Structure 1
Amino acid sequence: MKRKIRVSKTLSVILLSVALVLCAWRIWYVNATAYSFETQEYGIGEWIPLNGDFFYSKEENTNGYSVRVREAEVVRYEDFMQRFGKPVDYLAENTQHDVVLLTVDFKNENNTDGGVFIRDFNLLNEAQSAYFNKSEIYMKIANPDLNSKADGISVMPGTEASLYMVYPTSSRADGVTYLEEQAGKEQIVMYLNVSLYPVKKCVRMVLPMP
């Protein structure tokens, strides 16, 4: 009887070991073969064909649309306000920040009922570990005819349009911006997402610091 018990325990240990090995192999296999979305990286000045790529739903219908970041720069608050014809004290002191200013072009070849979802054109740091939303206040200053709360933009087929996208890079509770954290650097690298699915398309930008 004792021998049978020892054999049974040995067999149990073997079976448990096999089960653990199989479990570990399955986890590795699933991770190794899991479907990952393609990422395409572009540079400043390059047209990005969206080809139906979207942020949340294919109903955004971006077929025929292309996007380009024509210019990208870090602009001091005072220079930004002067450029767009506003006095320095136009904004409350606690909202006066240097900004990342992008000139973004939108081109529509033949789409009659779609557009580009710009609400989530978020800016990301080099590590892509933090993202920054564009500012409604600054967007309105730079684009006075734009509904700053608009989620998307549509362009007539066969035409192009441009927008200024403005990012104060605010994220911390104490009001310190990402640009302020990077003070002293000669340049920074930022990314702009223009779609997430099924292909993530982004623009890599090297920005000199003022």
Structure 2
Amino acid sequence: MKKKVVLLLSLVLVALCVARIAFVNATAIRFEARRHAVGEAIELSGSFINEPLGSEDYSVTVLGMERMTHDEYIERYGIDKAAGLDGDSTKSVICVEMNVRNAAAPDSEGSAIELIGMGLNLANGDAVLQIDNELWSKSEPSVPSGGLGALSIVPQTDYTTHIPYSAATGYVDSDNGELPAGTYELHLSSEPIRNLVVADVA
């Protein structure tokens, strides 16, 4: 009799757990996901990652994604072409060439797009990366080695930058830190619209 009571209670608990999971899934907030191609101008329209920073007038165009070594990034985009070279031939960096435009009125101020959380990942999950701020600071004098939380552009202007994502700033399913070729997804915003740029990186 005691075993039957325990079994009955267990079944009730399982049923309650299943019902709770179903309720959470049914009532969860789902944000629209939009996938974009390289070269497409993406109007952020106020979408953000963690907190709104006034991105209503911002648009982002990813001009390309390229796999390269740490040294190739410095030699191509570094302020000092010889500073920080490590001689490693591992393709451990994905460089995202990005154009950011602020179409706000000339007298507008205080708007920006969020960089913290702007992650890059392989579509199959074998690599999950964040911005390598230390490497980025070697090509952008305004970027501290500790990184930027947000990027603000003067109204009625645009700016092109080369943002490095590296094996040193995330998870890579690789023994030597080599980033594999494949389809990568760049997460520009998470809500109220999830904007992702999808690119095949050779």
Alpha-carbon shift at residue 80 of structure 1 (Å): 2.6
Residue 66 in structure 1 maps to residue 59 in structure 2: yes
Q: How does 1:157-172 map to 2 (within 5 A)?
A: 157-170=155-168, 171=170
The answer to whether the Cα contact below 8 Å between 1:39 and 1:201 also exists between their aligned partners in 2 is yes
Tell me the equivalent position of 1:5: none
Q: Is there any run of 5+ residues in structure 1 with no aligned partner, and where?
A: 1-12
CA RMSD, 1 decimal = 3.3
Structure richer in strand, relative to its length? 2
What amino acid is aligned across from residue 153 of structure 1 in structure 2? L
Closer, same or farther: CA 172–27 of 1 in aligned 2, 3 Å: closer
Give the aligned partner of residue 177 of structure 2. 177
Greater share of helix: 1
Does 22-31 or 152-161 show the bigger shift? 22-31
| Secondary structure at the counterpart of residue 205 of structure 1 | strand
Q: Percent identity?
A: 22
Structure 1 segments (4+ residues) deviating >4 Å: 16-27, 92-97, 172-175
CA displacement at 1:74 relative to structure 2:
1.0
2:98 aligned with 1:101? no
1:199 aligns with 2:190: no
CA distance in 2, matches of 1:93, 1:38: 44
Find the aligned partners of 2:43 and 2:56 in 1 and give their Cα distance: 8
Residue correspondences, number: 188
Structure 2 residues not aligned, in runs of 5+: 1-7
**Offset at 1:20?**
7.8
Larger Rg: 1
What is the CA distance between 1:30 and its match in structure 2?
4.3
Please name the residue that 2:49 is paired with.
55
TM-score by length of 1: 0.73
